[in-house]
């Protein structure tokens, strides 16, 4: 029997949801089920991670820990090698703390997890897992248990190419699109969401896991590109036939999503508690801030000289910084990081500042960033600049960017070698806002209640409580007690239990692949068992 | 104790065969001379997935940046043989 249904809605925001659950002239209610769910349940704002971004926020939702503990800050991980910087993607092995899938599994609860980021390569689970953010070519090998993929093929019209993450398409999220591209973008995500719903429907119906969790991420992808057709502050000014058609298409996506949510809640049954959450909210960004161009002007970085080779063109077009690493002292590694890395020389003669210069260098950099101002109004372009120790703590602190920036319009920076450093956008685009949504409904949940704002790290504690499990004492998040009725809390008090297990792979120095002697002995023994050693 | 290149070779071929079985490639087979990009249509994200798969299989990080970057640039392509040699050297430490 499914006790707990968790529906993730990437980037969902009350700005849009309150609008499309209202009875609008000539449109009506786009999401009637969600309207009823919010009216008869609990709603709250949900504060994201310091950089309100999919990777750190969803990993906090999966672990109950903040990024300084769980260790995931961005899509892309960068390793400073001195003469060079190596960029690669984060994966499940980078999560340093236990996930809720593992917590539930080791306490005899079954779980299904669909489309969550950084769940590949998959870890053991008592249930099923189909990872998110994995291209179709690698979906089969990263789905667990191994026989699950063949079960998915039983779904009529199942198509991994439609379901899975398209690396090329996702790279368009923060770029400008033509009108045709925008129309296709909405259609593409309608089709993708249908695929994920069919998978969720099958596994919920056939397996009835104790914890059923599915993430719909089209909400985020649409809002990045078609925000102007969803923001109630912008779309009423749009009157051309094409603009009105685009809004209709966007609403069609949300209408279908409402149907998927309704169906999953119905299958879960009247005894299940249902939770929905987003990793961050959304708002409008109206300007491009080219942070590396600004840092170049201030002498902190040097652009790499690019020749006309295909390899160099590909590298220049990539979403991570392409710089002269011999000369660069501070830089923004990726647009999504909204952060600045300061390069400290590991030994004399290597690129970077001397360790003893770190504090004074960082203060000077902060001062320069504070003085990055709108020429017309004098307003700061960057509304907040956080030192890493101001907003993060934990074993992974030193992997955070040295500075995290909050732009005045919450936009993501550009790292392109283009001037001027700040420029108005042609039209407003969607960007992440720190406040997302947290909803609950079902047996034992209050009705028509608006709760105080919670933190993304509170989500797994709340789900564990719903599952009837103890809350590990080292979770940084708390159970959202105010969501539950007094009767529910009295009959099933919140109990704090043992700390989480560590499900991380052996401690490895990411910079070099070096491992401790103890770990080396263990690995040699494993390799011998596998027949690799003579 | 040393791992053998022959052993690693067959393991990596098997992994690549399994990985690419649904990719609809027009290919006679995978050998040491097979190139990831030219012959197996690997994109950069596929290379990252192969690295993860190999590190998972051998239960350790292998420092693939040393193979993927040369002279401050990412390599254009890699042969299966180059990967086999690199992994063997790494495992033999």
Per-block mean pLDDT, blocks of 10 residues, chain A (534 long):
96 98 95 98 98 98 98 94 89 96 96 97 96 95 96 96 81 67 91 97 98 97 93 87 93 98 98 98 96 98 85 74 94 96 93 96 98 96 98 96 98 94 93 98 97 98 98 96 98 95 50 49 49 44
pLDDT in tens, B27-85: 889 999 999 999 999 998 899 999 999 999 999 999 999 999 887 778 889 999 999 99
Mutate which of A84, A309, A509 to test chain B, going by most B C-beta atoms within 10 A? A84
Cross-chain Cβ contact B52/A91 below 8 Å? yes
Determine the pLDDT at residue A171.
62
| Phi-psi group of A133: left, alpha or beta (phi > 0 → left; psi -120 to 50 → alpha; rest → beta) | left
Biggest CA–CA distance in chain B, Å, is 39
Averaged pLDDT score across all residues of chain B: 92
- What is the pTM assigned to this prediction? 0.92
Determine the pLDDT at residue A533.
43
Determine the pLDDT at residue B28.
86
- Shortest Cα distance, chain A CAs vs residue B62, angstroms: 5
Determine the pLDDT at residue A458.
98
A249: phi then psi, degrees, rounded to nearest 5: -60, -45
Of B60, B69, B76, the CB nearest to A515: B60
Determine the pLDDT at residue A508.
42
CA–CA dist A482, A485 (Å, integer): 8
Of A86, A523, A534, the CB nearest to B60: A523
Of A113, A287, A341, A346, which is closest to residue A212 (Cα–Cα)? A113
- What residues of chain A lie within 8 A of the CB of B60, using their CB? 506, 508, 513, 515, 519, 523
Determine the pLDDT at residue A511.
44
Of B1, B65, B91, the CB nearest to A534: B1
Cross-chain Cβ contact B61/A83 below 8 Å? no
- What residues of chain A lie within 8 A of the CB of B53, using their CB? 121, 141
Cross-chain Cβ contact A89/B48 below 8 Å? yes
Determine the pLDDT at residue B74.
82
Determine the pLDDT at residue A503.
45
B3 touches chain A (CB under 8 A): yes
A319 touches chain B (CB under 8 A): no
3-state secondary structure chain B: CCECHHHHHHHHHHHHHHHCCCCCCCCCCCCCCCEHHHHHCCCHHHHHHHHHHHHHHHCCCCCCHHHHEECCEECCCCEHHHHHHHHHHHHCC
CA–CA dist A159, A153 (Å, integer): 8
């Amino acid at each position: 029997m499914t006790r707990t249904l968790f529906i993730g809605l990437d980037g969902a925001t009350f700005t849009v949801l309150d609008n499309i659950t209202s009875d609008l002239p000539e449109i009506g209610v786009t999401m009637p089920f969600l309207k009823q769910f919010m009216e008869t349940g609990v709603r709250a704002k949900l504060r994201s991670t310091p950089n309100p971004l999919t990777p750190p926020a969803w990993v906090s939702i999966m672990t109950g820990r903040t990024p300084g503990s769980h260790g995931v800050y961005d899509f892309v991980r960068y390793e400073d090698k001195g003469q060079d910087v190596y960029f690669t993607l984060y994966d499940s092995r980078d999560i340093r703390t236990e996930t809720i899938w593992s917590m539930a599994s080791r306490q005899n609860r079954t779980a299904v997890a669909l489309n969550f980021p950084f769940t590949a390569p998959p870890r053991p689970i008592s249930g099923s897992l189909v990872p998110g953010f994995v291209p179709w070519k690698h979906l089969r090998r990263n789905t667990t248990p191994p026989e699950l993929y063949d079960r998915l093929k039983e779904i009529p019209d199942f198509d991994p190419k439609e379901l899975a993450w398209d690396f090329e398409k996702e790279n368009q999220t923060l770029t400008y699109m033509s009108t045709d591209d925008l129309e296709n973008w909405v259609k593409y995500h309608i089709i993708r969401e249908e695929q994920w719903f069919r998978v969720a429907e099958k596994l919920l119906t056939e397996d009835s896991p104790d914890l059923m969790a599915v993430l719909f991420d089209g909400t985020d992808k649409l809002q990045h590109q078609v925000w102007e057709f969803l923001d109630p502050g912008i779309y009423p000014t749009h009157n051309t036939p094409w603009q009105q058609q685009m809004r209709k298409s966007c609403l069609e996506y949300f209408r279908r999503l409402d149907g998927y949510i309704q169906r999953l809640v119905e299958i879960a049954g009247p005894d299940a508690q249902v939770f929905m959450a987003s990793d961050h909210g959304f708002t409008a960004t109206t300007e491009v801030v080219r942070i590396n161009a600004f840092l170049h002007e201030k002498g902190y970085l040097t652009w790499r000289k690019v020749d006309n080779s295909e390899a160099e063109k590909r590298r220049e077009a990539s979403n991570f910084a392409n710089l002269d690493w011999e000369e660069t002292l501070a830089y923004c590694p990726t647009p999504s990081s909204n952060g600045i890395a300061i390069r400290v020389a590991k030994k004399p003669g290597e690129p970077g500042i001397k360790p003893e210069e770190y504090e004074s260098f960082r203060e000077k950099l902060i001062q320069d960033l504070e003085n990055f101002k709108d020429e017309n109004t004098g307003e700061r372009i960057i509304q907040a600049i956080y030192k890493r120790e101001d907003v993060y703590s934990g074993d992974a602190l030193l992997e955070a960017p040295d500075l995290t920036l909050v732009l005045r319009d919450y936009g993501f920076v550009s790292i392109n070698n283009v001037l001027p450093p700040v420029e108005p956008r042609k039209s407003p685009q969607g960007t992440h806002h720190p406040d997302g949504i947290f909803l609950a409904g079902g047996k034992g949940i209050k009705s028509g209640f608006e709760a105080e704002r919670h933190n993304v790290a509170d989500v797994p504690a709340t789900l564990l409580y719903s599952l009837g499990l103890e809350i590990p004492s080292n979770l940084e998040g708390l159970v959202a007690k105010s969501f539950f009725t007094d009767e529910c809390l009295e009959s099933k008090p919140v109990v704090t239990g043992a700390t989480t297990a560590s499900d991380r792979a052996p401690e490895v120095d990411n910079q070099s692949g070096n491992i401790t002697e103890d770990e080396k002995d263990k690995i040699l023994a494993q390799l011998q068992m596998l027949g690799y050693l003579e | 104790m040393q791992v053998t290149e022959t052993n690693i070779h067959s393991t990596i071929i098997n992994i690549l065969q399994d990985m690419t079985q649904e990719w609809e490639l027009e290919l006679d087979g995978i050998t040491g001379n097979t190139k990831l990009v030219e012959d197996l249509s690997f994109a950069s994200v596929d290379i990252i997935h192969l690295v993860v798969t190999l590190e998972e299989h051998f239960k350790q990080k292998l420092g693939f940046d040393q193979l993927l970057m040369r002279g401050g640039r990412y390599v254009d392509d890699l042969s299966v043989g180059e990967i086999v040699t690199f992994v063997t050297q790494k495992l033999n430490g």
